Amino acid sequence: MEYIIDRIRECVDKNRKEYIGFLSEYIQKDSTNPALGENKAPFACHLWMQKKLEEYGIFDKVDFWKSGNDFSNVAAVSEGEGEPLLFAGHTDTVPVTELQKAEWREDAGPWSGAVKEGKIYGRGASDMKAGCAAPLMAMHVLHKLGVKPKRPLYFTYVMSEENGGREFGVDSIIERGYFAKECIVMEPSNNLAIVPAIQGEFYFTIEVQGLSYHIASRHHTLYPHGYHVKNVPGKNAIELAIELIGELQKLEKELGQYANHPLTEWGSTTINFSGIESKGIFSAGAEKCKITGSMLYNPSISQEEAFAYFKGAVNRAAERSFWLKEHPPVVTIPYLLSAKPPVNVEMEHPLCRQLAEAARAFGREPVYESCLSTSDANYLQDHGIAAITMGPGANEYGVHGVNEYVPVEVYLESIARYAYFLSKQ
């Protein structure tokens, strides 16, 4: 074991200029998600990757294909025998806003790939081009050492992760034939922490029906049995929505206290309200109201349980209201994006053990964490794939913000760890 570790160290050190250069050039290729911002050449980055990997001569096949009008995917294949292993990454990035451009350091711009003070700068450096590049460079290391993994390996890269576009991304990967029962997602994991658990997520709307009334009649809506009033003259849909929100906030606190996972923070189940929209004239009580939001929930809760908890809270609030009993709220789940089931893989899963062994091989005690933000790992889980996340980078390195970077040494260490891991496959 010591022999292969030393050889990997020496090879990574000898070829560090090549590996840093690959990542730097990768960052220089603008791969802004076409659904989120302007990208005049949406296929250019993946076409560059295809050509580069073919030139290396490491892989048995490099597959490029367009998915939808503006998206593309790449898969690099190392053939072998037995059960395949999938590596999943995304090349697309969020846009750099005009304000971010103005605040970005001048000597290491958003698409510079510049190396300054031991850091590689640029949009996507941490999220997640360093993670995408690392296992490819690890295969380069093994090729240099004359080592070929025995099992089939699929290294896949999509251009539609940041917009939640599974149809043109991970779903297209699976439909293309790159399915495996096990997967490593190379998203930034606080500098190579092993992440077997990720929150579930869904977006929702709740439509509430009220009854419009003149603002001068509001007192009758509050006290409908007063003099001359035999029936309820109106119901304010916004006030009814507030009752529902209150019940959902109770659910949020309850799940935060009692539904937990060994790797998650307490209170990690949250219900977020992003919008309340009502329709009507300014001089009347709101007749309709629509609540929009999302729920992030603990990996110990299944997707089916999360749906049931949420709808149960809405139903409880409705049961306490004579009006809502007769005019029940309409709940839409999922809304906007496909629901993301939680990832909850056992820490004793063989992939976790092997990644832990790779950490120890280079003098690191393995760290296990959960992730509060979702990724394509959730959609892979939906395909029945055990998805473990491990990659260089961290949110604190400017992910989606200004001056995004990845430390050079963390990136190089990830190459070494992946090389050791792959040498055992």
What are 387-402's pLDDT values in tens digits?
A: 999 999 999 999 999 9
pLDDT in tens, 42-84: 999 999 999 999 999 999 999 999 999 999 999 999 999 999 9
| pLDDT of 310 strictly over 80 | yes
The single-letter code of the amino acid at 216 is A
The pLDDT value given to residue 179: 98
Confidence of residue 229 (pLDDT cuts 50, 70, 90): very low
The model's pTM: 0.93
The pLDDT value given to residue 231: 66
**pLDDT, mean of residues 122-146:** 98
pLDDT in tens, 142-180: 999 999 999 999 999 999 999 999 999 999 999 999 999
Q: What are phi and psi of 257, to 5 degrees?
A: -85, -35
d(CA 306, CA 375): 18
Tokens 């034939």, residue located: 177
| pLDDT of 10 strictly over 80 | yes
Topology (CATH) of 200-332: Alpha-Beta Plaits (3.30.70)
Per DSSP, helices labelled H in 153-236 are 170-175, 218-222
Confidence of residue 322 (pLDDT cuts 50, 70, 90): confident
d(CA 411, CA 26): 14
Start-end ranges of CATH 3.30.70.360 in the chain?
A: 200-332
| pLDDT of 198 strictly over 60 | yes
Of the candidate ranges 102-116, 211-225, 364-378, the one whose mean pLDDT is the lowest: 211-225
Strand positions, DSSP E, 186-327: 194-198, 200-209, 270-279, 288-297
Topology (CATH) of 2-198+343-423: Aminopeptidase (3.40.630)
d(CA 7, CA 80): 23
Tell me how many degrees the CA angle 269-196-248 measures, rounded to the nearest 5: 10
Give the containing element (helix H, strand E) for 158: strand 153-158
pLDDT in tens, 249-291: 999 999 998 888 999 988 899 999 999 999 878 888 889 999 9
> Would you say 310 and 293 are in contact if contact means Cβ atoms under 8 Å apart?
no
Cis omega (within 30 of 0) for bond into 135: no
Q: What are phi and psi of 402, to 5 degrees?
A: -95, 145
The pLDDT value given to residue 3: 80
Residues 6+ apart with CB under 8 A from 38: 32, 95
What is the edge-to-edge ordering of all strands in the sheet holding 288-297?
270-279, 288-297, 200-209, 330-332
d(CA 301, CA 220): 44
The pLDDT value given to residue 233: 76
Start-end ranges of CATH 3.40.630.10 in the chain?
A: 2-198+343-423
Tell me the CA distances in angstroms from 301 to 10, 269, 337, 343, one per residue in order: 45, 10, 20, 10
**pLDDT, mean of residues 187-191:** 95
Q: Which long-range contacts (CB under 8 A, 24 or more apart) does 409-412 make?
A: 409/118, 410/130, 410/191, 410/192, 411/19, 411/20, 411/23, 411/120, 411/130, 411/133, 411/134, 412/12, 412/16, 412/19, 412/20
